[in-house]
Chains A and B, each alone.
Chain A
Amino acid sequence: MEANSAKKRKSVWNTIVAQHELIIMSVPLLLYKILFSYVPIAGWAMAFQDYKPSIRSFWKQKWVGFDNFVNLFTGLNGERFLRDLKNTLGQSFLTLLLGYIGAISLALLLNEVKNTTFKKIVQNITYMPHFLSWVIVTGLVSTMLAIPTSGGIINDVLIRLGLIDEPIMFLSEPKYFWWIVAFSNLWKEMGWNTIIYLAAMTSIDPTLYEAAVIDGANRYQKMWHITLPGIKSTIVVLLIMNIGHLLEAGFEIQYFLGNGLVVEKAEIIDIFVLKYGIQMGNYSLATAAGIFKTFVSIILISIANFIADRLGEEKLI
């Protein structure tokens, strides 16, 4: 046994020696990341304290154990936190789904465009909305969804097409809200999200296409059997990463478009935390919510990573 572990230790040591160049190239950056991202995590202690910024020493704060967490789930706002959790997941799931379909299909279709000038123009136009702030975009969304006399283009079109008689009050019906969030995100980020897939497509070996043509493959077969598999690892890795972000459903969009009539479908965790944590100077509650989100994220990516592994796909970790 002992000899065995000593041997193992020795072989580890040998590997380290053999890979010292890789280590020199990576470990300093690892330490750097630990310093900038992990050291401040000591601040999470706040979640277990009744933190007051004016008391400058961390250790002189009042410790309250898990009170802040308990408060989050069962306290005054327990039901509400759960409702907001549901809204967060629902909105970001829809956003993710539409976003993926939109961006990947746009990348595939752009890849089929032979005219490079046209292709470039389309790319440059579709990624523009990314540069507008949510204030501007939500302002436009809210105007477009208004009644026709207030500039509501969508109701106007629907009425002209004879699909509806009365304008739909999109922003006062809770049932539309998740979709409004998802489509607004699609509008703003679709072109931008396409870029990464287009870059991934450049790694596909062009000879594969040539070979496929010789084999008599048509356009759809090429798309399905060459292009998509070529970017599959990117798709999977991004998917796993984004699954970990399911609790980040945005913030500004709900803040600007949400209203009392749709609040039960609109309010998300981050807005809750703003109202009851940050705006009241309750950093402890905000930190507790942050820790909770991190735990959920880590569980989600672990599951996704595990599934990807089982399916023999590219893993995140």
Chain B
Amino acid sequence: MRNWTKFLAGLAAGGFVLSATAALADEIRIGITMRMVSENGQKYGQMVMDEIGLINEAGGINGHQIKATLMNDECKSDKGVANANKLIFQEKVHLLVGSTCSSVSLPIVDVTAKAKVPQIIPHSTNAKITQKGSAWVFRVPVSGRFYAGVNAKYVGENIGKKIAYICAADAASQNDCDAMQAQMKSQHGTEPAYVAQVQEKEVDFRTHMQKIKLAGVDGIMVAALAETMSRALIQSYEAGIGPNVRRIGSSSASNAPVPKISGDAVKGVFYAAAYSNADTRPIAKLFNQMVKDRYGIHAPDHDFSQAYDLIRIVEMALNNSDLKLTNSSLAADRTAIRDAIANVKNYQGLASGPISFCADATPQCRDGNKTPVLISYRKGGEAFETEVLARVSMPEDFGL
């Protein structure tokens, strides 16, 4: 009996300690779940937290402080869902930011839709995310459906139509690969010269490269996450495929580890992204300098710029929301934030084009950025350099 008493007392004490961290009124709560298993991944999260910290230092949002909770989902859907549940039901967040990986964002869309919590996506490009028809989701990055259209147009007109594909088994890369093949077919009527489905963390591409070499292709598309892509690029040269065969990257090609690991093998690789550090606009120069000073990154990729744009959009939306911030107004506050984000029109930030949202729960409304920029690497290694090849605004219903 005494043991039972001890157990219940312990349970109550534990509950008291945990409930001390429960929701407080008068603060705006933002939950963030991201893939932070790499150095860059951690820096994306850190930058979001730092920017929120600066908003708080400047007086917050209409006098209210933002309480941000950052969590790592390791690019795993079950962990992402657990994070989302914790942030929504335990932390009682008003807004959820996440995730980096499409395979994590996809299930979280269902969680936020059911719980009626606005979700804004910083990095995921898989087209299916906004095609689910959730009224609570917004995407800051360029959707994969737009990237494919731009890539295919440029490749067909400037490089050739005989393209080989190496597609890694992560959601974003697979989506980029499939969409590119579909666009090459619809725009130029061509079938892939060679397709290799590889593991997410594949290390040996030599056999595929030998076959690609024999196929005599005009270009090779490598759709994979940063480290995997780098290996494929290096091994393509080891296999004797010359620089006259252009290498096309998926959107991950913009991530800093690609030029750093690939070295000279990255020269000439082009890809569609949302931001180029070679951008000459004053805002881009200031941003590049800020990232360099704060995080030691000499050329930020588009995941940095997208995270930064996201915070600016969130700041605008929160400033335009009539929030009560009481425990009883949580649902109404969440709805107000959703509606305020939906009212963001023509935001001009670091992205290659304007970001606009609207109220309908459709990809046309919720894929905010419709302007991919084509970027090419001029130099690899630690001090890599890029150049902008083209900037194309796509029709909102493209690729649907």
Question: Is B truly associated with A?
Answer: no
Could you list which residues of chain A lie within 8 angstroms of chain B, going by C-beta atoms?
none
Could you list which residues of chain B lie within 8 angstroms of chain A, going by C-beta atoms?
none
